[in-house]
Amino acid sequence: MEYTKPLARLIEYFQKLPSIGPKTAQRLALHVIKMPENEVKNFANALIEAKTTISYCDICFNMSSSNPCEICSNPARNKSVICVVAETKDLMAIEKTNEYLGVYHVLQGLISPIDGIGPDDIRIKELLFRVNQNNVNEIILALNPSVEGEATSLYLTKLLKPFNVKVSRIAFGLPMGSELEYVDEMTLARALEGRVEL
Amino acid sequence: MEYTKPLARLIEYFQKLPSIGPKTAQRLALHVIKMPENEVKNFANALIEAKTTISYCDICFNMSSSNPCEICSNPARNKSVICVVAETKDLMAIEKTNEYLGVYHVLQGLISPIDGIGPDDIRIKELLFRVNQNNVNEIILALNPSVEGEATSLYLTKLLKPFNVKVSRIAFGLPMGSELEYVDEMTLARALEGRVEL
SS3 assignment for B87-103: CHHHHHHHHCCCCCCEE
Q: How far is B52 from chain A (nearest CA, A)?
A: 7
Q: Please, which pLDDT band fits residue A51 given cuts at 50, 70 and 90?
A: very high
Chain A hits for B47, CB-CB cut-off 8 Å, are 10, 13, 32, 40, 43-44, 47
Q: What would the CATH number be for the domain defined by B5-53? A: 1.10.8.420
A49 and B CB contact within 8 Å: yes
DSSP letter for each residue of A46-109: HHHHHHHH-EE-TTT--EESSSS-TTTT-TTSEEEEEEEESSHHHHHHHHTTT---EEEEE-SS
Q: Which segments of chain B belong to CATH 3.40.1360.10? A: 76-192
CA–CA gap between residue A73 and residue A84 (Å, rounded): 17
CB-CB: which of A2, A7, A19 is closest to B54? A7
* HSE-up (13 A, CA, CB side) for residue A85: 19
List the CATH code of the domain at B76-192.
3.40.1360.10
Is A92 an interface residue toward B (CB < 8 Å)? yes
Give the model confidence (pLDDT) of B137-154 as tens digits.
Answer: 999 999 998 899 999 999
Q: What pLDDT is recorded for position A129?
A: 95
Dihedral (Cα; B98, B149, A33, A51), 10-degree rounding: -90
| Letter string b/e over residues A66-103, b meaning 16 or more CB atoms within 10 A of that residue's CB | eeebbbbeeeeeebebbbbbbbbebbbebbeeeebebb
pLDDT digits (tens, 9 = 90+) for B28-60: 999 999 999 999 999 999 999 999 999 999 999
Measure CB to CB from residue B10 to each of A10, A46, A66 and give the nearest one.
Answer: A46
For residue B83, pLDDT over 70 is answered with yes
ipTM above 0.85, yes or no: no
Q: Which residues in chain A touch residue B88, judged by CB atoms under 8 angstroms apart?
A: 30
B10 part of contact set with chain A, CB < 8 Å: yes
Residues of chain A with CATH 1.10.8.420: 5-53
Q: Find out whether A106 and A121 touch, Cβ atoms under 8 Å.
A: no
> B123-141 burial, b if ≥16 CB within 10 A, otherwise e?
bbebbeebbeeeebeebbb
> Does B135 touch chain A if contact means CB atoms closer than 8 Å?
no
User: In chain B, which residues have their Cβ closer than 8 Å to the Cβ of A44?
Assistant: 44-45, 47-48
Q: How far is A161 from chain B (nearest CA, A)?
A: 32
Express each pLDDT in A165-198 by its tens digit. 999 999 888 888 888 888 888 888 888 888 877 7
Give the pLDDT score at A1.
Answer: 63
A36 C-beta neighbours (distance < 10 Å), count: 9
Q: Which residues pair with B81 in a beta bridge?
A: B138
Name the closest residue on chain A to residue B98, using Cα atoms: A1
Answer whether B139's CB lies under 8 Å from B166's CB: yes
CA distance B75 to A172: 65
Residues of B in contact with A66 (CB under 8 A): 4
Please tell me which residue, B189 or B128, carries the higher pLDDT value: B128
Residue B84 has pLDDT above 70, yes or no: yes
